[in-house]
Amino acid sequence: MLQGHAKIVDFIAAAEGVTGRKKLQKMIYIMKKLDIPFQEKYEFHIYGPYSEELTARVEELCDMGFLSETLEDKGSYVQYKYSVTEEGQEFRKVLGESILDNPLTAGKLNAKSGRFLELTATLLYFDHLNHQDQIDKLHVVKGKLNFTAEEIDEAFAFIEELSS
Amino acid sequence: MSYATQKLAEEKVFKDPVHRYIHVRDQVIWDLINSREVQRLRRIKQLGTSYLVFHGAEHSRFNHSLGVYEIVRRISDDIFHGRPEWDESERLVVLCAALLHDLGHGPFSHSFEKVFALDHEEYTRKILLGDTEVNEILQKVSTDFPTKVAEVIAKTYSNKQVVSLISSQIDADRMDYLQRDAYYTGVSYGHFDMERILRVMRPLDDQVVIKSSGMHAVEDYIMSRYQMYWQVYFHPVARSAEVILRKILQRAKELSASGYKFEQPPTHFLSFFDQSFSLKEYLALDEGVLMTYFQLWMTERDPILADLCDRFVNRRLFQYVDFDPGKDYKKLGELAELFRSAGIDPEYYLIDDSTSDLPYDFYRPGEEEERLPIHLLMPNGDIKELSRLSQIVDAISGKRRTDYKLYFPAELLIDGKKTAIKQQILEMLREGGV
């Protein structure tokens, strides 16, 4: 019971807070692809892998008082910042052991930009394709973002690093 | 004339309570409708267990699929036809994607997916690309056509306008199911002015936008969506039935793994229990098959499986109480222990359920590039996100509302055995203990 919620709290605690819903979405997706057993179901949306279940679960955690959410108005949109409250820290302790084999991974992901995580998550979404097809598909679905060859190489290297 | 452009000698129509008529002229669409995989959708209810609350809600995914097709056909043939921003060559792929978008749903889709860790989108793709009648028909259009249709449904297709028509915050899928579910459940919510929305939809760059003059029709749609979620989709009694359904499948899986000798062996499920099922086995399952097993398992020796099946078939559902995990999560363990002391297995008879467990969502504008919001096209050509202009939408999309429930079999707690413990459980459940 509530184990799925506890995993999200645990991750945000390990990352020492996350700024940006989009960033959180991509980070959890990448963790899932690393076989960390998050339960949230993802689908591909216009901006890459997205989980409605994760959005709803984070809202619930804010309601429960385990996460704090602050909003910053950026003009045409708002940005959300999440951190774990004292009650949330207690909750993750009570609910049991962490699923994060290496909590440092959360920090590594958090240190990357939203753009880079979007690139990485999208490449991982197409990881059933061969290397060149992955890149071709990336350009089809993310044509407007004009990812450079250097960025793509860096993302592949990052995936390699996380997987090892 | 190629198969892709081949027309029927006479237009076929399906009488439909939502759209009045569904019109088919394309041979490809007609052949797809008559394929085994699309006909299978007649045997999968659109609203899962909601028929146990709203007795009219027996409509199938087949009805809905035809409805989505009809909306997209109207957009493609009437609303967008001749507009320079719309690529007419995408017509057939978007019509096929609309008709086939739910092809991979299994029986009682949501519960089935949860228990067996499946993704219906993945099975839609497998059906489109695998050894199926649907694939054979799509291949006749061109060898790459099945992949194109699969990409539209997976939202990875190159033309984002095409994707948006099938899957976005205001798409043909939602416009059909809101109206259809309202019609069949008999609720007065869910109705909105779709004709007006269709008239003000415009293809623009890589998305579909709504002319700002249609904002009030979109407000109505958002309100319908909001009300349908709370009144129908998140209905606590339908969720009780879903909980029991999940537990039946979980119990059968657990018994099978433990070597239990079923009187009625779960032949159709065995390959699902060990995740070795083939596409053919996946397609062989429908709600008729599941209900037959549930009927037969009501007399199994295992008391938990027999009881859960009896509850589902005869609508003896679990009771529920509101539950605030933020305050009371620690008491869940205590309560589970009391259930065990009372001889009731909490794994099957004490279940928490939240709205995040359900496959529906509210309109949220969200962050930039988190998820495509509804965009209004202003008279000067500017694009504005809906909630920035609509106070009504802003009021409901900015507010969080979640719902957590705890489900349990009330009558087992008043059956005269171990009364002291059961009294303690009831007090915790009903008097604010959880």
Q: Give the pLDDT score at A2.
A: 81
Smallest Cβ distance to A44: which of B156, B206, B207?
B156
Residue type, A68: S
Q: Max CA-CA distance within chain A?
A: 47
| End-to-end alpha carbon distance in chain A | 32
Domains of chain B: 3-221 (1.10.3210.10), 236-355+403-431 (1.20.1250.30)
| Range of weakest confidence among A29-38, A58-67, B394-403 | B394-403
What end-to-end distance do the CA atoms of chain B give, in Å? 68
CB contacts of B357 in chain A (<8 Å) are 53
| Top-ranked range on mean pLDDT: pick from A18-32, A90-104, B123-137, B158-172 | B123-137
Residue-averaged pLDDT of chain A: 88
Over residues B353-380, the mean pLDDT reads 75
Question: How many A-B residue pairs are in contact by the CB < 8 A criterion?
Answer: 101
- Asked if the Cβ–Cβ distance from A44 to B402 is below 8 Å, we say no
A66 close contact with B: CB closer than 8 A: yes
Cβ pair A60:B388 closer than 8 A: no
CA distance B358 to chain A (A): 8
Contact indicator for B132, B40 with CB cutoff of 8 Å: no
Lowest pLDDT segment from B170-174, B253-257, B362-366: B362-366
Residue A79 confidence (pLDDT) above 90? no
pTM, entire model: 0.92
Determine, for residues B325 and A137 on separate chains, whether the beta-carbon distance falls below 8 Å.
no
What average pLDDT does the structure give for chain B?
A: 92
The 10s digit of each residue's pLDDT in B280-331 is 999 999 999 999 999 999 999 999 999 999 999 999 999 999 988 888 888 8
* Nearest Cα residue to B250 out of B304, B313, B312: B304
**Nearest C-alpha neighbor of B298 from the set B274, B262, B347:** B262
CB-based contact B155 A44, cutoff 8 Å: yes
d(CA B9, CA B5): 13
pLDDT of residue B3: 96
Task: Answer whether residue B29 shows pLDDT above 70.
Answer: yes
Residues of B in contact with A140 (CB under 8 A): 156, 158
A137 CB neighbours in chain B (<8 A) are: 156
Residues B78-131 pLDDT 10s: 999 999 999 999 999 999 999 999 999 999 988 898 889 888 999 999 999 999
Q: Where are the domains of chain A?
A: 1-163
Beta-ladder partners of B376: B210, B384
Q: Do B326 and A57 touch (CB under 8 A)?
A: no
Q: Judge whether B365 and B386 are in contact, CB under 8 Å.
A: yes
Residues on chain A touching B105 (C-beta within 8 angstroms):
none
The residue of chain B nearest to residue A138, with distances taken between CA atoms, is B156
Task: Report CB contact under 8 Å: A25, B355.
Answer: no
Asked whether the beta carbons of residue B329 and residue A80 sit closer than 8 angstroms, the reply is no
ipTM of the complex: 0.85
Give the strand pairing for B7-16 and A18-19. unpaired
B121 interfaces chain A, CB cutoff of 8 Å? yes
Amino acid at the residue B254:
E
Residue A129 contacts by C-beta under 8 Å, 6 or more apart in sequence? A137
Which residues in chain A are contacts of B233 at CB distance < 8 A? none
Among A94, A126, A137, beta carbon nearest to B330: A94
If you ran DSSP here, which 8-state letter would residue A31 be given? H
> Any idea what DSSP says for residue B11?
E
Place of tokens 């081949």: B6
The candidate with the shortest Cα–Cα distance to B386, out of B190, B215, B213, B143, is B215
Residue B73 structure tokens: 């056909």
- Nearest-by-Cβ selection for A2 from B329, B361, B371: B329
Q: Quick check: B400 and A63 in contact, CB under 8 A?
A: yes
The alpha carbon of residue A35 is apart from the nearest alpha carbon of chain B, in Å, by: 14
Per-window interface: B 138-157 vs A, CB < 8 A: 154-156
B360 band by pLDDT with thresholds 50, 70 and 90:
low
Looking at residue B358, its pLDDT comes to: 62
Please answer yes or no on whether B402 and A91 come within 8 Å at the CB atom.
no
Residue B168 is predicted with a pLDDT of: 87
Residue B361 to residue A46, Cβ atoms within 8 A: no
Task: Give the tens place of pLDDT for each residue, B263-282.
Answer: 999 999 999 999 999 999 99
Exposed (0-12), middle (13-18) or buried (19+): which is B411, by Cβ within 10 Å? exposed
